[in-house]
Amino acid sequence: ACDSVSYVINNDFRGAYLGATYLLESGKRNIFFLSGPQNISVATTRTQGLQMAFREKNMPFRKDHILYDNLTFRDGYRSIEQIIKSYHPPIGIFCSSDIVAIGALSAARAFSYKVPDEISIVGYDNIENDRYLDYPLTTIAQADYQIGSHGMKMLIELITSQEPYCRVHQVVFEPELIVRKT
């Protein structure tokens, strides 16, 4: 029997590290993470990536700046409404997805904040629509197609194997920061 499992994943630690470093280097000090659900591994891994970026810049990382359960456009919008009640610019927002980031961007603009000077936003996914927004979104691009393609090849190999299959493939794709206007 195999004592390990195969997987194909995105390096979420690195993606969050890149996003936080970008926000810190752009002068943002109040940085918030609009995370998905707290109990999933992606949230933990990305939080660790953020913490590493803060450590490298000798900046304190505030766990109370992680807002969980941000999954939709409306969640991103509401989170910005909540943040601006208590904090003043410059504010950095790192989002669990581009959909959440687009909601955050919409709120920032609705409340007349200058993007990216007063509120800077980084999404995650590099979805197709990002570049077509009137304010193209800065985002973390992951290798979605390659992850899916590689995973499917591994699955087919597993299914069609004539003998007990024990080859372990553990593939990690590296994300990339795409800097646009936010």
Q: What are phi and psi of 174, to 5 degrees?
A: -90, 130
SS3 call for 71: coil
Read off the pTM.
0.84
Contacts of 181 (CB under 8 A, 6+ apart): 115, 116, 135, 136, 137, 138
Instruction: Confirm if 104 and 76 have CB atoms less than 8 A apart.
Output: yes
What does the pLDDT read at residue 146?
58
Give the pLDDT of residue 54: 97
Residue 167: per-residue pLDDT? 62
Q: Which amino acid is at 76?
A: G
Predicted local confidence at residue 127, as pLDDT: 84
Per-residue pLDDT of the chain (182 residues; tens, 9 = 90+): 555 565 556 789 999 999 999 999 999 989 999 999 999 989 999 999 999 999 999 999 999 999 999 999 999 999 999 999 999 999 999 999 999 999 999 999 999 999 999 999 999 998 887 677 788 999 999 855 555 565 566 666 666 776 665 665 666 678 899 999 99
What is the Cβ-side half-sphere exposure of residue 71, based on CA atoms within 13 angstroms? 5
